[in-house]
Amino acid sequence: MPSMLDAVVVGAGPNGLTAAVELARRGHSVALFEARSTVGGGARTEELTLPGFRHDPCSAAHPLGVNSPAFRALPLERYGLRWVHADLPMAHPFPDGSAAVLARSVAETAASFGPRDAGAYRRLVAPFLSRWDTLARDFMSLPSTALPRDPVTLARFGLAGLPPSTLLMRRFRDEPAKALFSGLVAHVMAPLGGFATGAIGLVFALAAHARGWPLARGGSQAVSDALAAHLTDLGGAVHTDYEVKRLDDLPPARAYVFDTSPTALARIAGFGGHYDRFRYGPSVFKIDYALDGPVPWTAPEARVAGTVQIGASRAEIGTALHAASRAGRAPDRPFLITVQPSVADPTRAPAGKHVFWAYGHVPNGWRGDLTDAIERQLERFAPGFRDRVLARATMGPAELAAHNANYVGGDIACGATSGLQLLLRPRLSLFPYHTPHPAVFICSSATPPGPGVHGMSGHNAAKAVWRRLRQT
């Protein structure tokens, strides 16, 4: 290790790994330090239940990963990353056995909404889909890391997406489209009536039509391992089992980049109350299952989907989100996001068996047990589900925070995604990756473009670091 590194990165989640790779690609000397024994952050894979059942403790399906401009520019396939796709990216079943779907095909998706809403959906996504790659780069580089390549399309997207999703959903007349779109917004735990929530739903829908909602073959750990292997080949160093409690714990460097929560950064760097106004959002209660067969969904579409949303109506979804984020209680009928990796990747479980996870939203720091409520919801849409369970592993807010220090109070988004904080995070600033110290930067999901396994927060922060290194 040189006596003075160009950059030190703290935290080996997808954003920290991406920041380190981007800096190393440009010839800078980089060392990365991770408190856990393995890299990955929110993109890890572990045997949580029974031997041979490989679960993703957090993120499992990757619509933003396969569409990420940062990941697409890197040779991650060379290091073993393989995207695998279920027949359907996502299904949203209803209690009567029907389902709306988010398919690769716009026409198939629109048809699942029924004749009264099919045309409205096609008109909503058509202006953006043909320009998706440029739009994704512009949107995920906001607010200040690059000039928009297509400002006209970005402006049109803003007009459609910046209002609350409740206004956007007025385009639809029937429940299938409204419920599915509400579920898309809930993936980032945002209130349906919040600022820019229409953009969240649109981004997820467009991502599915462009490249699907794949899983990483073998588990999400494959994403992190590919990034780490690429970093090593570029000359970067990766140090695990290395907890950083203060800046003096790190070697001398010209720049320091933190893939941590703002709270942790303030404590380590001695920034006092600089991030005191940063808000953390609701948490989730997550269950990983080992099953002796596939989930017995009533809706045939759900049986072949990688991701399945569970919410009987837009109103039920909205009530569940309000309970967790505003009312401070767990919902009686939680909205569930579920992923069934072994539908697309049979390597994840022994022959004939399946892995499956589900989570529902709960208040930040909640200490209860949502297992029964989650399984009652699953039984509504998949009667006999409990009979398939071989083993389960549960994680509430405390366990999630212990597993990943960035999940403060169990907030897997590393910061509330409501109000202006959805876009301007961790502070109201045009320079979100900068901190009070000119040589210290932040690159976690607490910065734009926010949560998800896409590496763009790390990519964007690396640009800010390049400018710093050119000046010193």
pLDDT confidence of residue 326: 82
Lowest model confidence (mean pLDDT) among 59-68, 151-160, 403-412, 452-461: 151-160
CATH number at residue 235: 3.50.50.60
Lowest model confidence (mean pLDDT) among 179-183, 286-290, 427-431, 454-458: 427-431
Residue 143: inside a domain: no
pLDDT confidence of residue 162: 87
pLDDT confidence of residue 124: 95
- Given a cut of 70, whether residue 18 has pLDDT beyond it is yes
Dihedral angle computed from the Cα positions of residues 74, 75, 76 and 82, in that order, rounded to the nearest 10 degrees: 120
Beta strands across the sheet bearing 305-310? 99-102, 88-93, 305-310, 336-339, 354-362, 283-291, 389-395
pLDDT band of 149, cuts 50, 70, 90: confident
Q: Residues 69, 459: contact at Cβ < 8 Å?
A: yes
**pLDDT tens-place string over residues 166-186:** 998 999 999 999 999 999 999
Cis peptide bond N-terminal to 214, omega within 30 = no
Lowest model confidence (mean pLDDT) among 2-11, 87-96, 208-217, 431-440: 2-11
Phi/psi of residue 94, each to 5°?
Answer: -125, 160
CA-CA distance, 16 to 22, in Å (whole number)?
10
Residue 330: inside a domain: no
Supply angle C-alpha 275, 281, 282, rounded to 5. Answer: 155
Residue 117: inside a domain: no
Residue 347: inside a domain: no
pLDDT band of 423, cuts 50, 70, 90: confident
Q: How many domains is the chain partitioned into structurally?
A: 1
**SS3 (DSSP) at 395:** strand
Residue 23: inside a domain: yes
Beta strands at 283-291 and 389-395: parallel, antiparallel or unpaired: antiparallel
pLDDT confidence of residue 2: 65
DSSP 218-275: T-THHHHHHHHHHHHHTT-EEE-S----SGGGSPPEEEEEE-S-HHHHHHHHT-TTTT
pLDDT band of 84, cuts 50, 70, 90: very high
Q: Residues 442, 258: contact at Cβ < 8 Å?
A: yes
Residue 22: inside a domain: yes
Q: Residues 442, 436: contact at Cβ < 8 Å?
A: no
**pLDDT tens-place string over residues 198-254:** 999 999 999 999 999 999 999 999 999 999 999 999 999 999 999 999 999 999 999
- Which tokens hold the place of 228? 């780490």
Residue 457: inside a domain: yes
**SS3 (DSSP) at 131:** coil
Tell me the average pLDDT of the chain.
Answer: 95
Range of the domain at 17: 5-43+67-72+216-278+409-471
Lowest model confidence (mean pLDDT) among 152-156, 186-190, 205-209, 359-363: 186-190
- Given a cut of 70, whether residue 143 has pLDDT beyond it is no
Residue 361: inside a domain: no
